[in-house]
Amino acid sequence: MNTAHKWLNEVKWDEQGLVPAIAQDAESGEVLMFAWMNREALERTAESGEAVYWSRSRRKLWFKGEESGHVQRVREIRVDCDADVVLLKIEQVGGIACHTGRRSCFFHKLLDDGRWEAVEPVLKDPKEIYR
């Protein structure tokens, strides 16, 4: 174990070797997306300065923006009090974090009448993003 990576050992990885990761716009504070990281994803995020996640469905590293170009430049990496959740303060290149073409993935709002409504605009057609 590389002792230079003591900080990675201090993260409490779950039984699958993962931690939840929240990406937040460093300027506006907007929560843009939620994903998972394994040890390598977090290490590469810190080293490269661009967000790398672990895709649970594809079972491989997910270099955010690898297809869309919408990479996330990392300004700050934080963990919570239990060291089992990561918060990234990022600059979202292209202004679009969501695969639906919206700024944030959290665009469904619960209305008083008990319906989820999409309250954020699509900034770019996903067909244009993922050619």
- Return residues touching a copy of itself (CB under 8 A): 4-7, 10, 20, 22, 24, 28-31, 33-34, 46, 76-83, 85, 87, 98-100, 102, 105-110, 114-116
* CA separation for the pair 90, 129 (Å, rounded): 20
Helix (H, G, I), strand (E, B) or coil at 128: helix
Least distance from C-beta 50 to a copy of itself, angstroms?
A: 15
* CA separation for the pair 47, 121 (Å, rounded): 33
Least distance from C-beta 17 to a copy of itself, angstroms?
A: 17
Least distance from C-beta 5 to a copy of itself, angstroms?
A: 7
